Amino acid sequence: MAGYSIDITKRKQIEEALRESEKRYRIIFERSPLAVVRFDSEGLIVDFNDRFIDMMGSTREKLLGFNSMKQSTPEMSEIIKKALSGEIVSYEGSYTSVTGGKTTFLRGLFNPVTPGHSPTDVIAALEDITELKKHEKEQQKIEKLESLGLLAGGIAHDFNNILTGIMGNLSFSKVLLNTEHRAQKPLAEAEKATRRAAELAQQLLTFAKGGEPNKKVVSLQRLISDAVSFMLRGSNVKPIVTIPTSLHAIRADEGQICQVLNNLIINADQAMPGGGTLTITGRNEAFQPANSLHLGAGPYIRLDIHDTGCGISPDSLAKIFDPYFSTKISGTGLGLATAYSIIQRHKGHISVSSTIGAGSTFTILLPSIGTSVGEMSVEAKETTVSPKSGSILVMDDEQMIRDIAEQILSFLGYEVTTCKDGEEAIKLYRASLESHKTYAAVIMDLTIPGGLGGKETAKHILASDPAAHLIVSSGYSNDHIVANFRRYGFSGAITKPYNIDDFKKVLSAVSARIAEL
């Protein structure tokens, strides 16, 4: 009797322990952050947690008893078959649920309940890694862009030097010829085309390399009308530009804002191959703190660029600001990505709305200075070349650039000395100090492969002569040093490729500064 009662107590203890174990298993099963599903040995779904229903986008009723061999892909059927025959199988890939239709990126392990036995029940633990994959893709995109940036940076230096040779010579030829000469027009056209080639190189650089905007007060009226007339030349698209003179000015990098406008106008033009209307309107707006666009509080300008073109499908709409996204045969897909990054860097906002077949509207918001500047920013009228005096030192590693700079500057009335690196420039500058014939200005290239570049050279020259007038020259208009040239001791900056006017401007700005001192 005593032995029997001990047996019962033991059995009860075992049963209790089993119940406890089952309870614990249930808790793990139900509350697991992973989706857990159990298949019986025939592949029918017999148990699963809520996370699994969620992951499949399905319902308990549809899932319970579902024959998991009926998969949409043979790959998944094969995995389940292998697991049912006792093999542990892992899976990572895209999966579309048969009962719920939801597509996710899954990572999971299919565990046979009795490994090595066939057939067996199977418990699978699955993780939704869709977000992780998205993040990985973003990272890949960024890495791709970094290598593109390296390539662009490498090419841009050489490309700009070549363009400097072309543009410098073209602008020089123009001033050598009589203003009425028949060659003036084609030369001007060629110069414009070179400018456009330079802009393209800058576009790639701006996008790939980032770069700090070179900000100044910009009035948009002229910028927009120039961009429209330049970009729509020869097009059958009718522009309607309504920018009130009361539109506030912005503090921005003029070149970069031009790129944004150009890209949007080109896209609109390309969306209307049979003609149409491009409407650009501008108005002042103000944003309060904690606004829905997460913009800083303050005054803004708003530009709406509307076309009556083909429109953008909802599918494409989600991707158009992605780098490389293009539906055009010869498109790079960098136009809008560049626009996006520029607007971001100006602490603004760009958005789009579109109706397929009816047209698209791009809306840009940019912080404004809260007042308009009227005609203040209109460029100085072309002045006749008044000979200047003084001697200028030009440092550049490229013979072609030294030659054209020398020709232009001599034509402008300066005496010119050239040299090919920083070491030579320092020697020449010191010699000029000693002979009391100090250079009026030194124009120096920022990057000299294998030699002392502009930044270092400037330090040395300024150490001998703190009053030296140094002008940095570079192919990278977005370079930090070019954008903040004063911080590095320069009095001016000039971006390659340059023409006579660019030289005139930078030298007069420098001489204005000399006068200020």
The entry of Mg ion, ligand ATP, none that residue 334 binds, CB within 5 to 8 Å by partner kind:
ligand ATP
Task: Report the C-alpha gap between 195 and 475 in whole angstroms.
Answer: 13
- Report, in angstroms and rounded to the nearest whole number, the Rg of the chain calculated over CA atoms: 34
| Residue closest to Mg ion, measured at CB | 335
Closest to Mg ion by CB, 335 vs 492, is: 335
CB of 277 to ligand ATP, least distance (A): 12
CB of 327 to ligand ATP, least distance (A): 3
Q: Which residues contact 380 (CB under 8 A, 6 or more apart)?
A: 505
As given in the structure block, the two tokens for residue 457 are 């050279």
Query: How many residues belong to the site for Mg ion (CB under 5 A)?
Result: 2
Q: Let me know: does 500 contact 487? Beta carbons within 8 Å.
A: no
As given in the structure block, the two tokens for residue 179 are 């203003």
End-to-end CA separation in angstroms for the chain: 116
Quick one: which of 124, 190, 336, 342 contacts ligand ATP (CB under 6 A)? 336
Phi, psi of 268 (to 5 degrees): -65, -45
Closest to Mg ion by CB, 335 vs 453, is: 335
Q: Per-residue string for binding with ligand ATP, 470-509, x by CB under 6 A?
A: ----------------------------------------
Quick one: which of 53, 205, 271, 365 contacts ligand ATP (CB under 6 A)? 271
Closest to ligand ATP by CB, 105 vs 324, is: 324
Task: Report the C-alpha gap between 29 and 398 in whole angstroms.
Answer: 71
360 binds ligand ATP (CB under 6 A): yes
267 binds Mg ion (CB under 5 A): yes
If we measure between CA atoms, which residue out of 398, 380, 407 comes closest to residue 473?
398
Nearest-5° Cα angle at 93, 88 to 94? 130
Task: Report the C-alpha gap between 153 and 165 in whole angstroms.
Answer: 19
Closest to ligand ATP by CB, 359 vs 454, is: 359
Is the sign of the CA dihedral 237, 242, 243, 245 positive or negative?
positive
The entry of Mg ion, ligand ATP, none that residue 128 binds, CB within 5 to 8 Å by partner kind:
none
Quick one: which of 105, 230, 325, 411 contacts ligand ATP (CB under 6 A)? 325
Q: 3-class SS at 318?
A: coil
Q: 3-class SS at 445?
A: strand
Query: How many residues belong to the site for ligand ATP (CB under 6 A)?
Result: 22
335 binds Mg ion (CB under 5 A): yes
Q: How far is CA 318 from CA 4, 292, 293, 507, in A?
A: 74, 19, 17, 47
259 binds Mg ion (CB under 5 A): no
CB of 483 to ligand ATP, least distance (A): 25
276 binds Mg ion (CB under 5 A): no
Q: Let me know: does 197 contact 156? Beta carbons within 8 Å.
A: no
Q: Per-residue string for binding with ligand ATP, 274-313, x by CB under 6 A?
A: ---------------------------------x-xx-x-
Instruction: With both helix axes pointing from N to C terminus, report the angle between 454-464 and 422-434 in degrees, rounded to the nearest 10.
Output: 20
279 binds Mg ion (CB under 5 A): no
* Residues engaged in binding ligand ATP (CB under 6 A): 263, 267-268, 271, 307, 309-310, 312, 316, 320, 325-328, 331-337, 360
* Residues engaged in binding Mg ion (CB under 5 A): 267, 335
